[in-house]
């Protein structure tokens, strides 16, 4: 069996198919079989589970996940890697290989009842959009087990909504950092360490708002002015005078001079209720 987590086997595999990894696609492949197996185990899949793998790459994680679930859909953007995946995964009949942009992939069509487990090594520039795609609307997955930049993991597990993707994670899931993964565990070696984060999806969102889409539009609009004081930004969004916005913020116990990245989830909900357009 070919194991792309073995550096020598991966090098031979890619050379055989004439592939050079591209930085613009976030192609940093894990080359540590022990860590790979630990990441697969952390997804906590069972024999009846369905799994969506984001960014299958050369199949490093795919071949470890395949024996641990009933059905696995592995999505990969780079068309050049499809022959590689077919070679690595030959004989794994429960694996469906899909060449597609995950942000355009019909997840609800593939998993109409939700409840799937999502796993993968996620490029930094994809994290925010992917979290919104997977969690914003039902049916939602049951759990996400994702390798992301360590900085992203730290934000997702912080007590404040430091970014749009952090707010989305905290609204829909409980995040936990499982392990840090050194940069040297990948090839090519990235500039920063990574971390494995599990997101246990909540039965219901952690904020009680009348329109979730509108709530996230407000959060997204505020983060476009993340260096500005909250009072002025919310006044602009709500179309009210700055003094009125400041007054409403003070009434709910929030200093209008604060920046958006300092707000807790409860404070985001309070801001939306007090100042929604």
**How is 213-230 classified by DSSP, letter by letter?**
HHHHHHHHHHHTTTTS-H
**Residue 22's pLDDT is what?**
79
Q: What is the pLDDT of residues 219-274, one digit of tens each?
A: 999 999 988 999 999 999 999 999 999 999 999 999 999 999 999 999 999 999 98
Whether residues 107 and 217 fall in one domain = no
Exposed e or buried b per residue across 121-157, where buried means at least 16 C-beta atoms within 10 angstroms of its C-beta: bbbeebbbebbbbbbeeeebbbbbbbbbbbebbebbb
pLDDT at 197 over 60: yes
Whether residues 92 and 19 fall in one domain = yes
Instruction: State the Cα angle at 196 between 173 and 45, rounded to 5°.
Output: 70
**Residue 163's pLDDT is what?**
86
**Residue 277's pLDDT is what?**
55
Residue 33 belongs to some domain of the structure? yes
**Residue 159's pLDDT is what?**
80
Domain residues for the domain of 270 are: 212-275
Whether residues 28 and 146 fall in one domain = yes
Q: What is the pLDDT of residues 137-190, one digit of tens each?
A: 899 999 999 999 999 999 999 887 778 889 999 999 999 999 999 999 999 999
Residue 29 belongs to some domain of the structure? yes
Residue 168 belongs to some domain of the structure? yes
**Residue 47's pLDDT is what?**
96
Percent of the chain with pLDDT over 90: 87
Whether residues 267 and 237 fall in one domain = yes
Q: 125 vs 127, which has greater pLDDT?
A: 127
User: Residues 57-70: what's their mean pLDDT?
Assistant: 98
Whether residues 162 and 221 fall in one domain = no
Tokens of 195: 């971390």
Report the predicted TM-score, pTM, of the whole model to 2 decimal places: 0.91
3-state secondary structure 66-134: HHHCCEEEEEECCHHHHHHHHHHCCCCCCEEEEECCCCCCCHHHHCCCCCCEEEEECCHHHHHHHHHHH
Structural domains of the chain, count: 2
Q: What is the average pLDDT score of the chain?
A: 94
Whether residues 15 and 139 fall in one domain = yes
């Amino acid at each position: 069996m070919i194991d792309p987590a073995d550096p020598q086997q991966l090098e031979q595999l890619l050379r055989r198919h004439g592939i050079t990894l591209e930085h613009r696609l976030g192609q940093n492949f894990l080359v540590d079989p022990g860590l790979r197996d630990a990441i697969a185990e952390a997804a906590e899949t069972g024999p009846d589970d369905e799994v969506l793998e984001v960014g299958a790459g050369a199949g490093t994680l795919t071949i470890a996940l395949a024996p641990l679930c009933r059905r696995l859909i592995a999505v990969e953007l780079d068309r050049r890697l499809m022959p590689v995946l077919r070679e690595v995964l030959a004989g794994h009949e429960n694996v469906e290989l899909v060449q597609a942009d995950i942000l355009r992939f019909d997840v609800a069509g593939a998993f109409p009842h939700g409840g799937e487990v999502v796993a993968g090594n996620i490029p930094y520039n994809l994290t925010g959009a992917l979290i919104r795609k997977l969690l914003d609307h039902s049916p939602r997955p049951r759990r996400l087990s994702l390798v992301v930049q360590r900085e992203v993991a730290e934000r997702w597990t912080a007590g404040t909504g430091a970014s749009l993707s952090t707010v989305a994670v905290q609204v829909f899931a409980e995040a936990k950092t499982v392990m840090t993964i050194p940069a040297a565990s990948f090839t090519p070696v990235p500039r920063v360490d990574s971390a494995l984060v599990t997101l246990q999806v909540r039965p219901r969102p952690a904020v009680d708002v009348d329109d979730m889409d509108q709530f996230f539009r407000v959060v997204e609009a505020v983060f476009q002015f993340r260096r500005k004081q909250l009072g002025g930004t919310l006044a602009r969004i709500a179309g009210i005078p700055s003094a009125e916005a400041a007054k409403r913020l003070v009434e709910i116990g929030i200093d209008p001079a604060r920046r958006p990245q300092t707000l807790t989830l409860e404070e985001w909900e309070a801001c939306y209720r007090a100042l929604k357009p």
